[in-house]
Amino acid sequence: MLFRSLRLSKFIADCGVTSRRGAEELIAQGRVTVDGKVVTIQGVKIDPIKHKVEVEGKALNKQTTKIYIAFHKPRGVLSTMSDPENRPCLSDYFQSRDERLFHVGRLDKESEGLILLSNDGAWAQKMAHPSYEVKKRYQVLVDRPLKAPDLRALERGIELEDGVAKALSVTQQGRTLTIEIHEGRNQIIRRMVSALGFEVERLLRDQFGSIKLGELPPGKWRHLNSAELVNH
């Protein structure tokens, strides 16, 4: 049998666990074993057929079919694939699937709307990483209409405890704001609105890049189509 030499980090990424960089971090943290032995040295090469690779005790097999999913996260569901307190989370809706899915970014528990999932770890990281500046759009119901100076402030930038945050665009109809932003910091929109003295009553993400939520009902999912994937 020929020895198919492959960098360990690339194999982990090809299996859909994470990106190459993320795989290197897993190796450095001692969370990867090859044939039962912990590997922490970067650049190690393996034979995917001959060697058994495990991440946190779970054996990896290179996946040939990549899955890309749009999911409508309901309010009250955690944006995680597991929860030690057994609270509702994303995996509850995908128990029938065998693929190891990763969610792209997060929505806080009380927010709802579009979440992307895939077994392609590199794609998921690219979509979520701030350096790619992928635009997200939100429909935000507030307790009362904002005035013109408040709307301009959201676009100019709001000073928060972890730095300035600004929207790409903001429009308003009644008490509903449509906010486009490419940042992904924790509860960024809620904190921006709160800093102006307003309260968010409902927050729904209806677009991620060129991918739209559309009429997808809460708790339901669909596969992304080829046109949506071409743009990402």
Where in the sequence numbering do the catalytic residues fall?
Answer: 108
Distance CA 93, CA 86 (A): 14
Overall residue count recorded for the chain in this entry: 232
User: Taking Cα atoms as reference points, which of 50, 30, 48, 47 lies closest to residue 38?
Assistant: 30
> Any idea which residue has 């090809």 for tokens?
14
CB atoms within 10 A of CB 89: 18
**Nearest Cα to Cα of residue 100 among 132, 134, 75, 69:** 69
Name the amino acid, one letter, at 167. A
Q: Cβ contacts of residue 38 below 8 Å, gap of 6+?
A: 30, 32
